[in-house]
Structure 1
Amino acid sequence: MSTDRIIKTLGLVGGGVIGSGWAARALAQGLDVVAYDPAPAGEATLVAAVENAWPALERMGLAEGASRDRLRFVRSVAEVAAAADFIQENAPEREELKRGLLAEIDAGCGPDVIIASSSSGLLPSRIQSECRHPERVVIGHPFNPVYLLPLVEVVPGERTAAETVERAAAFYRSIGMRPLRMRKEIEGYLSDRLQEALWREALHLVNEGIATTEDIDDAIVYGPGLRYAFMGTCLTFHLAGGAGGMAHMLDQFGPALKLPWTKLVAPELTRELRDRMVEGTAAQADGRSVAELERWRDDCLIRLIEALAPVRHERPA
C-alpha cells in the first residue's frame, strides 16, 4: 500500500446524517466529494443537509477552494469506488449489510485506497472479513455533527495494517479532526460505551418517575457537562480528590462504588417509557423543527469551540 497518496476526493457511501456530515466537513476543507445513497431522495437529502450546515462552517472558516459545488452525486457504489482517494462508508448499523458493502467497495477501488466505516459499534474484524484487501479497512467513527465535532475513533481490525491506521489518522487530522486510536477493538468502541452508560441510567430515572428528560439534560448541561468540555471525566475526578488527587479520591470515595447508585442494565423499553421519552423531548423542543434545533446546536458548539480554543492545549500554570 502506498503511503504518499494525496487525498483530493472523499468518497461517501451513504448520505444520511453521518454521511452528509462528512460531506459538509470535506467540502469546507476544499476537497471534492463523490457520494452515493440508494434512497430515492438520497441526493436531495444530502444537498439539503450540506446547505443547512454551511452557515456554521462559514463561521468556523472555510479552507481555500471550499465550495458546495464540489459535491457530485453518483448512481452506484462502483462509481464512488472508482473516483475516490479515500472512502467513508455510512450505511445503517447492520453487520451483514456492512460486511457485504465493504466487500463491494473493496472490489471496485485501487489497492492503496483506504476504506473507513463510520460504524458506531461493530467489530472491524467481522465487517472486513469478506474483503480481498482487509488490511486497508478500518473504523473511522465520527460524532454528530461530523462537520463540527473533531473526535473520530480509529479502530483497526485483526487484519488491518498499521500503515492504514497511520494514514487514516493523518487524513482525519488534515480535515481538522482529532483521531483517537483505539488500542484494541471492542463493541461500541470508547466514547459510545461511556455515553451508553449515562443513557441507560437516564432511561431508568425516567422510567421510575424520578426525573423528566429536561431534568436529566439540566443535570449535565449546568454541571459536569461544563467540565467535560475541557477536562473530561478522569481529570475531573482527579481534582475531586483535592491535594491528594486521584489517589485520595479513590481512597475516600471508592467504597461508594459498592452502593446502588447506578443500574447499568438497561430497563425494559416499554411503550410507556418510550412515550415518556418522546413526550419529554418534544416538550423540550417546544415546536422547533430538527433543522432549527441543529442550527441552534451548531451555534452553541461554535461559541464553545471558540471560547475553548485559546486554552484547549494549555497546561495550567
Structure 2
Amino acid sequence: MSTVAVVGTGVIGASWAAHFLAHGLDVVATDPASDAEEKLRDDVTAILPPDDAAIDRLRFVADAGEAAAAADFVQENGPEREDVKHALFAVLDEAARPDVILASSSSGLLPSVIARGCPRHPERVVIGHPFNPPHLIPLVEVVPGRDTAPEVVDRAVEFYTSVGKRPIRLSQELPGHVANRLQAALWQEAYSLVERGVATVADIDTAIAYGPGLRWAVLGPFANQHLSGGAGGLAHVLRHLGPPTEAWWRDLGRVHLTPELAETLVAGVDAELAGTDHDRLVAARDAVLDRLLAAKAAQPDLP
C-alpha cells in the first residue's frame, strides 16, 4: 500500500494523516469544512518534525469519492452518527476499488451498522479504532462486522502493524469495543465516588496517575495482577483476593450522568487545572508519552 485516504480531518483525522505521512505513505485527505485544508496542514505541520518533507506527500481534495478512488486503504473519521456514516460510506463504497479496505475510526458504533451504507461491498468494512492521539498511541482495535471477510481483518491487522501500530483483533462486535468499555467501567466508579463525596476530581486523578496508572502504562491489568501474586502469580491472587474483590464489585456505584453531576465534574476539573495552560499541558503529556514509549521499546522483556 502506498496511498491512504483520510476521510474527515478533525482531531483524529489530522493525527492519522501525520502518522501515515511519518511512515512513508502518501495521504489524500478530504473534509467538507470550508477551512479544512488550511487547518489540516497546520495541524500536521505541528505534529511532524520541523521542516519535515513528508508534508509534501499530503494532498487535499474536496470530494470524498475522489479521495477513496485514489487510495489503497481508507481511514474514515467522520461524526459518530449512523446517518452520517451511512451516507459517507455509500460514497466510499461506490468510489473505492473493490479490494480497498474501508476502515472506520468509530469509537463505539458497530461495524455491521456502518456497513449498511455499503450495498456493493459490505465485506470490506471494518472498525480500525485508534486511541487519541493516533500519531502517538499505538493501540488500534480491529473489529469485524457480520459481513466482514476474514481476509479483510487479516489485511487490516497487517497494515496497521506495518505502520507501527499495536492492533488487537476482536472476535465479536459490541458497543465501545474493548478499551473504551474498560475506560467506561473506571469512569462509572470515578463519577460515583465524586457524586457520593468520597473524593474530589483531583484526588481521583492523583489516585490513578500516581498509582495503578503507572503500572498500567507498562503492563496490562492481567499481567500486573499476575506479578502482584509473587511466585504464585495470578492463581494466588485469585485464590486469596478474589472473594474481597467480589465484595467490592457488589459495592461499586451505579451512577446517572445528571446535569448536576456533570456540573460538579466540570467544576472539579477546572479547579484541578486552574492556572494551567492547555496547550502546554497537551505538549507535556505528549512529551512524556514519547519518552515512555521509547523506554518500553528499549525493554526486550516486556510483552
| TM-score, length basis structure 2 | 0.92
C-alpha displacement of 1:264: 5.9
Where 2:127 maps in the other structure, the secondary structure is strand
| Structure 2: stretches of 5+ with no match in the other structure | none
Residue 24, structure 1, aligned to residue 18, structure 2: yes
- Among 41, 44, 48, the residue aligned to 2:38: 44
Q: Which aligned segments of 4 or more residues in structure 1 are displaced greater than 6 angstroms?
A: none
Moved more, 75-84 or 272-281: 272-281
Decide whether the 8 Å contact of 1:238 with 1:249 is kept in 2. Answer: yes
Where 1:129 maps in the other structure, the secondary structure is helix
Figure out how many residues of one structure are paired with residues of the other and give that number. 301
- Among 273, 280, 290, the residue aligned to 1:292: 280
Q: Which residue of 1 aligns with 2:72?
A: 85
Residue 191, structure 1, aligned to residue 179, structure 2: yes
Deviations 1:147-177 (A, max 9, x none): 0111101111111111111111111111111
| Structure 1: stretches of 5+ with no match in the other structure | 1-6
Q: Which residue of 2 aligns with 1:3?
A: none
The alpha-carbon distance between structure 1 residues 88 and 289, as it changes in their structure 2 partners (threshold 3 A), is: farther
Q: How do 1:1-317 residues align onto structure 2 when only pairs under 5 Å count?
A: 7-55=1-49, 67-131=54-118, 132-261=120-249, 263=252, 265=254, 267-311=255-299, 313-314=300-301
Tell me, in whole angstroms, the C-alpha distance in 1 between the residues paired with 2:90 and 2:53: 31
The alpha-carbon distance between structure 1 residues 291 and 43, as it changes in their structure 2 partners (threshold 3 A), is: farther
Moved more, 251-260 or 132-141: 251-260
Tell me, in whole angstroms, the C-alpha distance in 2 between the residues paired with 1:76 and 1:36: 6
Tell me, in whole angstroms, the C-alpha distance in 1 between the residues paired with 2:200 and 2:30: 40
Decide whether the 8 Å contact of 1:52 with 1:295 is kept in 2. Answer: no
Decide whether the 8 Å contact of 2:18 with 2:44 is kept in 1. Answer: yes
Deviations 1:7-43 (A, max 9, x none): 1111011111111110110111121111111223222
Percent identical pairs in the alignment equals: 53
Where 1:126 maps in the other structure, the secondary structure is helix
C-alpha displacement of 1:315: 5.8
CA RMSD of aligned residues (A): 2.0
Where 2:128 maps in the other structure, the secondary structure is strand
Where 2:135 maps in the other structure, the secondary structure is coil
Where 2:21 maps in the other structure, the secondary structure is helix
Decide whether the 8 Å contact of 1:10 with 1:33 is kept in 2. Answer: yes
